[in-house]
Amino acid sequence: MFQKIWDLGFGIWICYFHFIRLVIGNALVSIAIKSDIHV
């Protein structure tokens, strides 16, 4: 039971991490485009 809860929590954390990375990536791209900085 505990293992199942742990796996679920870890999966949610992974999804959350990827979501945050996606948001930060999009924000950096937007800033770069507005500033006309070519990465």
| Greatest pairwise CA separation for the chain in angstroms | 52
Q: Is the pLDDT of residue 10 over 80?
A: yes
Q: According to the model, what pLDDT value does residue 6 have?
A: 81
Domain that holds residue 31: 1-39
- State how many domains the chain has: 1
| Per-residue model confidence as pLDDT tens digits over 26-37 | 999 999 888 876
Contacts within 8 Å (CB) and 24+ apart, 21-29: none
Report how many helices (DSSP H) and strands (DSSP E) the chain contains, helices first: 1, 0
Mean pLDDT along residues 7-32:
92
Pair 23, 15: CB distance under 8 Å: no
pLDDT band for position 19 (cuts 50, 70, 90): very high
Which residue type does 10 have?
A: F
Q: Is the predicted pLDDT of residue 11 greater than 80, yes or no?
A: yes
